[in-house]
Structure 1
Amino acid sequence: MRLTIVGHLKGQLTAATRIAMNRGAAVTHAESVEQALRTLRAGRGADLIMCDVALDVRELVSSLSAERFHVPVVACGVDNDTRAAVDAIRAGAKEYIPLPPDPELIGAVLAAVADDSRDMVFQDPSMISLVQLATQIAASSASVLITGESGSGKEMLARLVHEKSPRAKAPFVSVNCAAIPEQLLESELFGHEKGAFTGASARRIGKFEEASGGTLLLDEISEMDVRLQAKLLRALQERVIDRVGGGKPVPVDIRVIATSNRALADEVRKGTFREDLLYRLNVVNLKIPPLRERPADVLALAAHFASKYARINGFPIRPLSTEARAELARQRFPGNVRELENTIHRAVLLAVGSEIGADAIRTPDGAPVSTARGAAAQAVETAEQIARSFVGKTLADVERDLIFDTLGHTRGNRTHAANILGISIRTLRNKLNQYDDEGFAVPPPQAGVAAA
């Protein structure tokens, strides 16, 4: 845990620093918002920022956002300064810690930040074998490619590889390649020199340098532009990077883990991903099964999230009822672990009584999941019935029936029918002439409807 404390280190903040260090945090101090930003630009990253409300918390939060530093901020101040606490939360601070510092409160905040990124719960045999493989290869420096559907836990597995590796005490730095505009991603990864481009008002150390000695996670790497992939390949091969606007290569010592929710081999065939980069990244491939293929994980994760969100919301920890567990086991969870987490969070908030019942398992709009599942099953059944109706027919038969049905819908208007079918009026007329020659009854325009 890397903690940056922003403010003048007078008695109470000094005590907070000491408590955080005793809890295992690596603490950096900055006296002002600008000094904190300079520290971050220099590559001394942070997992959490604690800012004195005597400073401008809003300026800090907005500056972090403007410079794409994704770091949560908690405010701290004397416990009787209610107005400052409210203003800090409105400015974007995640929490408010009253001073003098309470060791348990600071410990809880640090643990919450750590837990958000490191909780990995699994019981399914497929995940047990996958985690064993991840642990086995963690000791090496080999690049790792983690694949799986969105929300299946790719970043969690990447963090586990880092924590089981000799680099565990060094930084773990994550970059979401899909969330950063193409024109900014190069600077985000490799950094830039002052004046390198419009808006580059100061030198910025990139994620490669920030992660030096540790692990760099390139999340959803399939979204990276092909031109930038060439520079990434060089960085991986030669272990040097070039800052944007820089004059000399900068050596880096990192392990790279990449994730993708797409099959990169398919992207190579489409020309959107470099084959040589795929080979460089795919030394080891860890493929996470979707949650629907890990039934034993559903209930284990559900119990974990129920406990987590009860603590966060100040509720008593309640077990899932037998009916609720059965309902969860029936779900498909297309959004994987992320969807399950949101489902359980809602259930914790909606449940009444000593257990979390099946009636608390609801969709985001408040509908019981059984109703949603019934509607989905009915839609699937309808689709299957439609598909079965085509069995035994030729493609020409299906095409003719579709044209005639569309003409019926447009009351015989050829132009409207052609627009709906996505063909030209000439093509439609040729088809109708063909059907007429073959002896089929072509639907005529209805009364009052022009043929064209």
Structure 2
Amino acid sequence: MRLTIVGQLKGQLTAATRIAMDRGAAVTHAETIDQAMRSLRAGRGADLIMIDVALPVRELTEALKAERFHVPVVACGVDNDARAAVAAIQSGAQEYIPLPPDPELIAAVLAAVADDARDLVFRDPVMASVVQLATQVAASSASVLITGESGSGKEMLARHIHARSPRAAKPFVSVNCAAIPEQLLESELFGHEKGAFTGASARRIGKFEEASGGTLLLDEISEMDVRLQAKLLRALQERVIDRVGGAKPVPVDIRVLATSNRVLADEVRRGTFREDLLYRLNVVTLKIPPLRQRPGDILELATHFAKKYAQLNGVGMRPLSASARTEIVRCAFPGNVRELENMIHRAVLLASGPEIGPEAILSPEGAPMAPRGADPASRAAEAAETITRNFVGRTVADVERELILDTLGHTLGNRTHAANILGISIRTLRNKLNQYDDEGFAITPPQGGVAAA
């Protein structure tokens, strides 16, 4: 994980740096916010920024937003400065780390905010064969296309390939092609020169150059506009890219992996995906089976997530009871591993007693999970009827507000984990909470008075 620390490196901040490095982070330092922004524009990317609370945190978060750098920010400062901590959170920091630094807290924040501590967990023979093939091709430089349903673990497999490749010590850079507006994706991938378009106030290095020597993951590549696909094809074929507004080609040395939850051959027939680009990408194709086709992974993953979220939420480690394990096995998971992960996260927060019991194995609406093998049409009808009974007569805004505030309460005020459960960005959650606070609704405060992980 790439960590940038902004501020004067002295005393306790230096100790925090050493702890982060001991935990495997590659740390760079910028004394000022301007230096940090220049570093990002130059392609020295960051997965997480830690800033001294004595610096203007809002200036940093607004600069990142203005230049479309999607990097989480954590503030840090002396442990008795609660007022500065709250101000930092209000200014856009995701979390606050009190100093002097606690090694376990820093480790938890690195894992929770940067999400760089995810393991590829599997046991089912069907999944084992996919992982074996991925490991086999990892040592090559070939492009790999990873397909599978949403939530099945495509990015996890891509990280597995990178970690076992000769490029493992270099950056792993991921771009979600579905999340970036079409008019901005070209600049995000290839960079731009100063003055290339309105708002381009300085040269910016794109993800191709940022991933130099390492691996670039094009997540959900099927969502890329067909016109931009032509420029991508040239970059893959000739290993050069053109910055927007640039005068000369720039050579790049990267390995490209791509994912899609669609069948790209079908998209080729529809005319929404270039056939020559498909051939360039799928030198090797890895298809991840949905969770329903790998039942041997369910309990292995559930146990892993139970341990993970107990640690991240600072609650006692509770094993899954025998009856809870039976309940999990019988559940249907149309949302695949992501749905299972969210369900276990809820269970960790809702459970009481020495074990996680079946009463904590619930859907986001608080109802029992649908059984595996149940008729999909019947499940859909039953779910629709339940939702209608609960929500009829209420506005969408009322329902959304109740869901957000209830989830924040379940996470004991931890905004990062609430956003993960809700499937929204921390920025969106923060904006919603500010709105509700202005409207006079009670907001669950984080434990300790600050947004600690």
Asked if these proteins are the same fold (TM beyond 0.5), I'd say yes
Instruction: Provide closer, same or farther for how the CA distance between residues 38 and 84 of structure 1 changes in structure 2, counting only shifts above 3 A.
Output: same
Instruction: Provide closer, same or farther for how the CA distance between residues 358 and 19 of structure 1 changes in structure 2, counting only shifts above 3 A.
Output: closer
Partner of 1:157: 157
Deviation at 1:199, TM superposition (A): 0.7
Deviation at 1:95, TM superposition (A): 2.3
Q: Distance in 2 between matches of 1:379 and 1:102?
A: 47
Deviation at 1:93, TM superposition (A): 2.1
Q: Distance in 2 between matches of 1:131 and 1:371?
A: 28
Partner of 1:227: 227
Partner of 2:254: 254
Partner of 1:406: none
- Is 1:242 the counterpart of 2:242 in the alignment? yes
Q: Distance in 2 between matches of 1:106 and 1:279?
A: 44
Q: Distance in 1 between matches of 2:374 and 2:168?
A: 47
Partner of 1:171: 171
Partner of 2:55: 55
Q: Is the 8 A contact 2:2 2:48 kept in 1?
A: yes
Q: Is the 8 A contact 2:108 2:312 kept in 1?
A: no
Partner of 1:129: 129
Letter matched to residue 167 of structure 1: R
Per-residue deviation, residues 368-393 of structure 1 (Å, max 9, x unmatched) = 225999896646899xxxxxxxxxxx
Letter matched to residue 132 of structure 1: Q
Partner of 2:19: 19
| Equivalenced residues, count | 382
Partner of 1:345: 345
- Is 1:289 the counterpart of 2:328 in the alignment? no
Q: Distance in 2 between matches of 1:223 and 1:15?
A: 43
Q: Is the 8 A contact 1:118 1:160 kept in 2?
A: no
Instruction: Provide closer, same or farther for how the CA distance between residues 27 and 194 of structure 1 changes in structure 2, counting only shifts above 3 A.
Output: same
Deviation at 1:349, TM superposition (A): 1.4
Q: TM-score, normalised by structure 2?
A: 0.80
Could you tell which deviates more after superposition, 170-179 or 104-113? 104-113
Deviation at 1:114, TM superposition (A): 6.2
Deviation at 1:146, TM superposition (A): 0.2
Instruction: Provide closer, same or farther for how the CA distance between residues 327 and 103 of structure 1 changes in structure 2, counting only shifts above 3 A.
Output: closer
Letter matched to residue 317 of structure 2: I
Q: Distance in 2 between matches of 1:326 and 1:103?
A: 37
Which secondary structure state, in structure 2, belongs to the residue aligned with residue 248 of structure 1? coil
Q: Distance in 2 between matches of 1:327 and 1:368?
A: 9
Deviation at 1:203, TM superposition (A): 0.4
Letter matched to residue 325 of structure 1: R
Q: Distance in 2 between matches of 1:358 and 1:18?
A: 42
Deviation at 1:348, TM superposition (A): 1.2
Partner of 1:298: 298
Per-residue deviation, residues 41-67 of structure 1 (Å, max 9, x unmatched) = 110001111100011222222322332
Per-residue deviation, residues 81-125 of structure 1 (Å, max 9, x unmatched) = 111112222333232222223344334433445654532111110
Instruction: Provide closer, same or farther for how the CA distance between residues 104 and 366 of structure 1 changes in structure 2, counting only shifts above 3 A.
Output: closer
Which secondary structure state, in structure 2, belongs to the residue aligned with residue 3 of structure 1? strand
Letter matched to residue 155 of structure 1: E
Instruction: Provide closer, same or farther for how the CA distance between residues 85 and 379 of structure 1 changes in structure 2, counting only shifts above 3 A.
Output: closer
Per-residue deviation, residues 290-343 of structure 1 (Å, max 9, x unmatched) = 011110111111111111111122211111122221221122211111111111
Partner of 1:359: 359
Deviation at 1:245, TM superposition (A): 0.2
Which secondary structure state, in structure 1, belongs to the residue aligned with residue 68 of structure 2? coil
Per-residue deviation, residues 100-156 of structure 1 (Å, max 9, x unmatched) = 233443344334456545321111101111111101100000000000000000000
Q: Distance in 2 between matches of 1:24 and 1:237?
A: 34
Partner of 1:414: none
Partner of 1:423: none
Partner of 1:202: 202
Partner of 2:101: 101
Q: Is the 8 A contact 2:144 2:258 kept in 1?
A: yes
Partner of 2:310: 310
Deviation at 1:357, TM superposition (A): 1.3
Q: Distance in 2 between matches of 1:282 and 1:162?
A: 16
Letter matched to residue 101 of structure 2: P
Q: Distance in 1 between matches of 2:276 and 2:118?
A: 32
Deviation at 1:16, TM superposition (A): 2.3
Deviation at 1:204, TM superposition (A): 0.5
Deviation at 1:71, TM superposition (A): 1.7
Partner of 1:30: 30
Partner of 1:440: none
Q: Distance in 1 between matches of 2:364 and 2:201?
A: 44
Per-residue deviation, residues 267-301 of structure 1 (Å, max 9, x unmatched) = 00000000000000000001000011110111111
* Residue segments in structure 2 that go unaligned for 5+ positions in a row: 383-453
Q: Is the 8 A contact 1:303 1:319 kept in 2?
A: yes
Q: Distance in 1 between matches of 2:150 and 2:381?
A: 27
Which secondary structure state, in structure 2, belongs to the residue aligned with residue 118 of structure 1? coil
Could you tell which deviates more after superposition, 57-66 or 235-244? 57-66
Q: Distance in 1 between matches of 2:366 and 2:100?
A: 42
Which secondary structure state, in structure 1, belongs to the residue aligned with residue 127 of structure 2? helix
Which secondary structure state, in structure 2, belongs to the residue aligned with residue 367 of structure 1? coil
Letter matched to residue 199 of structure 1: G
Identity of matched residues, %: 80
Partner of 2:189: 189
* Residue segments in structure 1 that go unaligned for 5+ positions in a row: 383-452
Could you tell which deviates more after superposition, 69-78 or 84-93? 84-93
Partner of 2:266: 266
